[in-house]
Structure formats: structure tokens, C-alpha cells
Amino acid sequence: MESRINLADNEIGAKFAKRFGNASLVIAQSPLSKTIQELASLRASQINGCGWCVDVHTKELAAVGESATRINLVAAWREATVFTAAEQAALAFAEEGTRLADAYHGVSDETWELVREHYDEDQVIALVGVVAMINAANRLGVILHQQGGSYEVGTFG
């Protein structure tokens, strides 16, 4: 399966990609740790089946020093002992924020409270942004058939 279109080869696509990237910079420069941003992005990407985004976020996690064990266990984080309570709250939030159609109310009050226990308001807003942006990126990747495997760390940073 080949990618259907390259956004950079189209004037509108290039403008969209640039603005999308600029919105992501706000999150990248927030006080929410890079590890939490990447863990949440990886989990949403796994759920959405975006090979390109799974490739990006596994490699970015490895680049910031995450072990293969932790990266590999993101898909089964509830059954793993390697994530802190704060990381578990962020992963639950990413899942519930991604599975909107599967959950009656989206993010549950219980998960919201867990996130609020571990993160300050700026970090919570950044986490909301991470989940929103990665879900949009996943949709782009899946719709355009972007394939995982060729991402090089730091391409977007």
C-alpha cells in the first residue's frame, strides 16, 4: 500500500501541514513532559491503527531514553508494572479521549480527577491538546495510507 498523496506537494496541503505543525509546537513547548506527550500519542495511535504515528512515537520515546520494555507495554499498560500513577492517568485519558464513540460520556469523571491529581492546569490543557492533535494526525495518516517504518527521530523538532 502506497501513500495516497503527499501534503507537501500541494499548496493547500502544505499550508495545512504548516499550521497543524505550528499548533503542535504550542504543546511541545508546554510544561507537560515529552515522555507523557509521547506515551499518550503512542497509545492513541495504537488504538487508531496509524502505522506512521506509531513509528514516530515509538522512536521518539526511545530517543528520550525510554526502554523497549516500557515502549512495548504501552499497548497493555493496565497489565504492566512499569508505569507510574501519573503515566497511567495520562494513558487512561488518551484512551478515553480517543475512544469517544465507545464511551457514553467520552472522558470519565474518574479519569478526569486522576489527571487533575497528577498534573497542573497548564499540563492538563497540554494533555487535552496532545490527545486532540494526535487523533487528528492519526486520521490524516490512516486516510492518506501513510506507512510506518521510515521515520527518523527529530524530523518534526
pTM (two decimals): 0.93
Going by C-alpha positions, the residue among 125, 143, 145 that lies closest to residue 133 is 125
Q: What are the pLDDT digits (tens) for 6-64?
A: 888 999 999 999 999 999 999 999 999 999 999 999 999 999 999 999 999 999 999 99
Q: How many angstroms separate the Cα of 63 from the Cα of each of 10, 34, 47, 53?
A: 31, 11, 22, 15
Domain for residue 60, yes or no?
yes
Q: 75: which DSSP letter?
A: G
Identify residue 9 by its one-letter amino acid code: D
- Mean pLDDT score across all residues of the chain: 94
Domain for residue 6, yes or no?
no
Q: Note down the domain range covering 65.
A: 31-143
More confident residue, 4 or 113: 113
CATH at residue 59: 1.20.1290.10
Domain for residue 89, yes or no?
yes
The count of domains in the chain is 1
| pLDDT of res. 5 | 87
Domain for residue 136, yes or no?
yes
Domain for residue 23, yes or no?
no
